[in-house]
Structure 1
Amino acid sequence: MREILSIQQQLLPDLVDTLKKRYTILHYILVSGMVGRRTLALSLNMTERVLRGEVDFLKEQGLIDVEASGMRISAAGRELLEKIEPLVKDLFGLTDLEERIRSHYGLRQVVIVPGDSDVSPHTKKELGRAGASVLRKLVREDEVIAVTGGSTLAEVAYHLTAANPMKGCWFVPARGGLGESVELQANTIASTMAKKAGARYRLLHVPDHLGEEAYQSLMQDDHISEIVQFIRKARMVMHGIGDAMVMARRRKVDSETTESLQRDGALAEAFGYYFDREGRILHKMPTIGLRMEDIQRMDTVIGIAGGKSKGEAIVSVLKHGHEDVLITDEAAAQYIVQRLTS
C-alpha cells in the first residue's frame, strides 16, 4: 500500500491532491451531519466555484445527498470513507505517528485524527466521531462503562448511534458532577450515551468538589454508597485530559492548593487527580466516584483529548502508565512525538 502511494505521489501528484481534497470535503460533510455550500467553502478555505465542481462530482457518484437545507453524506459515501480511512491516514502521515506513540508508551491502540482541536471545531467533532467508533468496537455485552465530563466527551456522545445497540450495557459517570454547563457534566454525557447507544444508565447526583466532612457524610448515605459501588464495577472508562491549571480554575480549587500545584509543577488533570511532568500524582480532589485503584483494575482505559495546548498534559498522563487507548489529534500527536526525541 505505501509503495503504491509513493509511486502515485511521484508520478501522479495531482491525483493524490485530488484524493485528499475530495476526502476532506466528504469527511467534513459526514462530521457536520448537514452543511450548506457557503459554510463548507469558508470552513475549508475553498472558493465556492471550486467547491461547486467537487460537490457536483460527489453527487453524481452518489456519495452525498443535496437538499434545499444543505448537503449530507449518503450511505455509499459513509461506506467509502470507512474503506479508505487507512489509506488517507498514510497520505496524511498519521499512521507513523500512531505507531510511534503506541510503541513508546506500550498502548494497545492509538487513533489520530487530522487537524488541531484548539483552532478547529471540526477537528473536535472528528475526535468525538473517532471516540464513538472506538467505543463501539471495544465494548462487550453487559458491560459497565464509566465516562467523565467535558466538551470532547460530549462530542463522543453526540456521535454514538443505536445502529449497533450496546445490549445490556450501563453508562455511568466516573465521578460527581462538575460545576459547569449541564450539557458537559458526566451525568448528562452518561445518560446521552446510553440513550444514543440503546443502553441503560445510572447517575450520581453529588457535587464534584467536596470537603472531607461532606465526602464522609455522603458516603454514609445508603443510596449514594450503592451507586458508587455500581460505578466501581466498571471495566471500561473513557476520560478526558485537562491542563492542570485550567482545570483547577474550573473546579474552583482554593488558592492555597492551586499555588501548591503550580509550585510542584502540575501539568495534567484526569479523574480529579493532578499529575506532574513525569506522571506522578501530586494531588487528589476529594470526589465521589472512581478511585485510582479502580482505574488500575480496569480492562480498558481510553483517554481522549486534542489540541496542541493539551500535548504536555497528555504526555504527563501517558507517563503515569495506566492508559490502554489514546484518541487524539494531529497537533497534539506531533507535540507528543517531538517530546519522544527531545
Structure 2
Amino acid sequence: MRKLLEIQQQLLPDLTDVLKKRYAILHQVMLTGIVGRRSLAVSLNMTERVLRAETDLLKAQGLLEIESTGMRISEAGRELLEELEPIMEELLGLSVLEDRIRDVYGLRQVVIVPGDSDTSASTKQNLGRAGAKALLSVIRENDIVAVTGGFTLAEVAEQLSPTFPAPLKDAWFVPARGGLGENMEYQANSIVSTMAKRVGAQYRLLHVPDLLRRDAYELLYQDQNVREIVDFIRRARIIIHGIGDAMEMVRRRRLDPQTVEEIRNAGAVAESFGHYFNEDGQTVHHMLTLGLQLEDIANAEVVIGIAGGRSKAKSIHAVLKFGQEDILVLDEAAAREIVKEL
C-alpha cells in the first residue's frame, strides 16, 4: 500500500490533493453533525464557490445529504471515511511519526490525528474522536475506568458513540481525583457521568476538591463513604488522562505565589494526575489530593494519555519519560515537534 501511494504521489500529485480536500470536507461534516456551507467553508479555509462544487459532487455520489438546515454525512459517506482512514494516514505521513514515537518511548500504540489543536477546533474534535476510539478498543465488561478532567477529556466524552454495539452495563467510570475549581463541564465528575451514559455503563462520583490541605485531607479520608469511593477508584484497570502545561495548570489551580515559584524553579513543564514533571519525567511537585496515586498508575493495565497542540510537545515528552503510558493519542503538530526534538 505504501509503495502504491508513493507512485501515485509521483505520477498523479493533483489527484492526491483532490483526495485530501474531499476527505477533509467529509471528515469535517461528520464531526460537526450538520453544518451550513458558509460555516464549513470558514472551518476548512476554503471559498464558498470551491466548496459548493465539491459538495455538489459528493452529494451526487451519495456521500452527503443536503437539507434546508445544512448538510450531513450519509451512511455511505461514513463507511467510506472509515475505509479511507489508514490510506490518509499514509498520505499525510502520520504512520511514520506514529512508529517513531512508539519505538522511542516504548508504547503499545500511538495514534496521531492531522492538524494542530492550538489553532483548529476541528482538530480538537478529531483528537477527542480518536481518544474515544482508543478507549473503546480496550474497555470490557466489569472494568473500572478512571478519568481525569480537562478540555480534552470533555471532548473525548462528547465523541464517545452512544450506539456502542452493546451497553457496558457492568463497567464503571470514576473520576481519577477530586474536582478542579473550573467550569462544571470540564470537571472529572461531569466527564465521568457523560462517558458512562454514552456507553450504558455505571459511574460513581467523588465530591471533594482537587487541592486539599493536610488537615482537610485527613478529615475527609476518615469518612467511610469517601474512603470507600477512593479505594474503588484506586482499583481502576484503565486510566485515561489529559496532559497539561505545568504553568497553565498552576494558573488554573490558583496556587499561592510561593508554590508557583517553587514549581517554576524546579523546572516543571508538565502536569498530570496532580503531579508536576520536569523534562526528564521526574516528579518535582505533587498536590495533596484524594484519588489515584502514582503506584495506582503503575499498577493499572492500560494508561491512555491524550493531548494535542504544538505548545504541548514538551509536556507530552515529560509525561512519556515518566514511563507509565501504554497508548498515546496526540495531534500532528505535537508529534512533529516531539520528533524534531528527538
1:2 matched to which residue of 2? 2
Q: CA deviation at 1:229?
A: 0.8
In the TM superposition, what is the alpha-carbon distance from 1:63 to its structure 2 partner? 1.2
Residue correspondence of structure 1 range 229-248 to structure 2 within 5 A: 229-248=231-250
**Residue 109 in 1 paired to residue 139 in 2?**
no
The one-letter amino acid of 1:140's match is: R
Q: Aligned partners of 2:184, 2:226: CA distance in 1, in Å?
A: 20
**1:88-103 matched pairs, under 5 angstroms:** 88-103=88-103
Amino acid at match of 1:144: I
- Measure the CA separation in 2 of the matches of 1:254 and 1:206: 20
Structure 1's unaligned 5+ residue stretches are: none
User: Which whole-Å CA distance do the structure 1 matches of 2:314 and 2:112 have between them?
Assistant: 16
Task: State the alpha-carbon separation in 2 of the partners of residues 148 and 332 from structure 1.
Answer: 21
- Secondary structure of the equivalent of 2:311? helix
* Aligned residue type for 2:241: H
Give the alignment's Cα RMSD to 1 decimal.
0.8
Q: Hey, what's the Cα distance between the residues in 1 that align with 2:255 and 2:62?
A: 53
2:68 pairs with 1:68: yes
Per-residue deviation at 1:162?
A: 2.6
Which residue is 1:138 aligned to? 138
Matches within 5 A, 1:216-231: 216-231=218-233
Match of 1:129 in 2: 129
* 2:59 maps to amino acid: K
Q: Match of 1:306, SS?
A: coil
Query: Partners of 1:93 and 1:200 in 2: how far apart?
Result: 39
**Aligned AA for 1:214?**
A
Report Cα offsets for 1:297-342 as digits up to 9, x if no partner: 00000000000010000000000100001100011001110121xx
Q: Measure how far apart 1:48 and its partner are.
A: 1.0
Partner deviation per Cα, 1:263-305 (whole Å, 9 max, x = no partner): 1100000010000010000111001100000000000000000
1:274 aligns with 276
| Aligned equivalent of 1:209 | 211
* CA distance in 1: counterparts of 2:252 and 2:70, whole angstroms: 37
Aligned residue identity for 1:331: A
**Unaligned residue ranges in structure 2 (runs of 5+):** none
Tell me which moved more, 148-157 or 251-260: 251-260
- Sequence identity (%): 61
Give the letter aligned to residue 316 of structure 2. Answer: I
Q: Secondary structure at the residue paired with 1:238?
A: strand
**DSSP-derived class of the 2:155 partner:** helix
| Residue of structure 1 in register with 2:181 after alignment | 179
Work out the CA distance in 2 between the residues paired with 1:299 and 1:177.
Answer: 24
Distance across 1 between alignment mates of 2:118 and 2:45? 17
- Bigger shift: residues 30-39 or 301-310: 30-39
Q: Which residue of 2 aligns with 1:34?
A: 34
SS in structure 2 opposite 1:287? Answer: coil
Alpha-carbon separation, structure 2, partners of 1:175 and 1:318: 21
User: 2:341 and 2:106 mapped to 1: Cα distance?
Assistant: 16
Residue equivalent to 2:306: 304
SS in 1 for 2:285: strand
CA distance in 1 between partners of 2:75 and 2:224 (Å): 49
Q: Secondary structure of the equivalent of 1:322? A: coil
- For residues 167-201 of structure 1, the C-alpha deviation after alignment (integer angstroms, 9 at most, x for no partner) is 41111000001100000000000000001111111
* Counterpart selection for 1:317 from 316, 319, 328: 319
SS in 1 for 2:112: strand
Read off the aligned partner of 2:134 and give its amino acid letter: V
Instruction: Give how far 1:50 is off.
Output: 1.0
Q: For 1:86-142, what per-residue CA distance to the aligned partner results, in whole angstroms no more than 9, with x for missing partners? A: 100010111100000000000000000000000111110110011111111111111
Q: SS of the residue aligned with 1:77? A: helix
Q: Which residue of structure 2 lines up, in the alignment, with residue 200 of structure 1?
A: 202
Matched, 1:286 2:285: no
